[in-house]
Structure 1
Amino acid sequence: MVAGQESEPIRVVVVDDQELFRRGLTMLLGVEPDIEVVGEAGDGAAAAELAASVAPDVVLLDVRMPKRSGLEACVEIKELVPTARIIMLTMSDEEGDLYDAVKNGASGYLLKDASIDEVAQAVRVVAEGQSLISPSMAVKLLDEFKEMSRSGRAEEVPGPRLTARELEVLRLVATGLANRDIAGQLFISENTVKNHVRNILEKLQLHSRMEAVMYAVREKILDLP
């Protein structure tokens, strides 16, 4: 948030079946001046109902929960509240879970050993439309994409051709760079980068930057070993 700029707080829903963890996270995020926790849920089914009711900006969602998993809830929440950004906050560091989370529309994936500052920053980043995955998981994600590319498991995503500049931006997005860093490398403004990313997602009919990475790997836009 820019100093002196009036802005509504980021509205967050916290979903975890472990009550102590959920309540603790709610309390800690509630201290942040630009974040407001507007609800809690203890399972995937309740999470979808709550999201539909309060229309949050960001949902912090555990992967493994009773009644309905976080991965299943992620799909339903995106259908009910397309504007909601979802961060999977979990103990699971399995590549398959990470891939499924991204495929199902998640914008972020953090392990539960992340600090509260890291979680709060993740909320801010995804609320702006960017993606955030912890560095250790990003390596695993790219490994999973490479394996899918080799085995042909990746799904086809039809779409029009991207411009040369859009391809440049996509390559840099796929390396994990934020908009500001991409702008610096290409000597263009951050707003121009945001516009390019939005156009890329619209053209390819994708929902997140990480889905765009999957597309880049599949179409061999990225030169991965």
Structure 2
Amino acid sequence: MKLKPTRRAFLLRNSIFLYYFFLSLIAIMGYGIAYAEMPETKLTDIILYMILWMVLTILPGVFLAFKRRRFGWFLWSLLMNIAGIGVRWYFADSIDTQYGWIIEYAPFLVFAAISIIALAVVDAHRRTYEYEISEGCIKISYGFLKSNQQIIPLRHITNVLLDRNFAARLFGVGNVVIVTSSGMGTGDRGVFGGVAAGGGAKRIGAGVYMGGISQAKEFVADPKNCIYGVSKPTRVSETIQRLLAKERDMPYSP
């Protein structure tokens, strides 16, 4: 049996890029209307507009960083803001030229362009994963040309879990988690954040931190560590359990 993650399993990734794309269009129209009505736009107004833009783009990244346990979601949106706003201010003298509108709307155009590219990349990335269930082992292949492979012998599997949240049930997909004697499927890496502060007679300090932390016994689904986002996951789980029962010469009971 050969399986691939469905497009529905990557809905969250696609949704965030669609959000950035349409937010960029709305921001461009809003900025254009405001500038047309008030040609002498003050610097403070532009700064406030950029601050609002950064909040609307960075907050979803922070949310996804905690939800997906991947710090890159936050870093990606931050870097795009730095790039777009950096272009806007560095080439500010070129705004009145023929193609000055590109510089004027650079903070928004960067997000729009990258979002379109990202949607194509996400789907291409999804297609690189393949799961093969056979007698004797389960094979996880990923990477272009399937250059990376992970082979899990059935004799090493200690449990098979079904990972489905409400959205996954709604779209008819799920993750089949293979727990092995070596610990695969029992933990993953996450992110943490918080605020630290301290005071004394001579100094007061405060800071905000975010980084990686190992979380034992908390599984975070990833296409590389489970049979990710497949259609009819219950049937897939039952197939693996039948193979396990056959491997151990035991009767299968669902």
TM-score normalised to structure 2 length: 0.22
Structure with a larger share of its residues in strand: 2
TM-score normalised to structure 1 length: 0.24
- Greater RCO, CA 8 A, separation 6+: 2
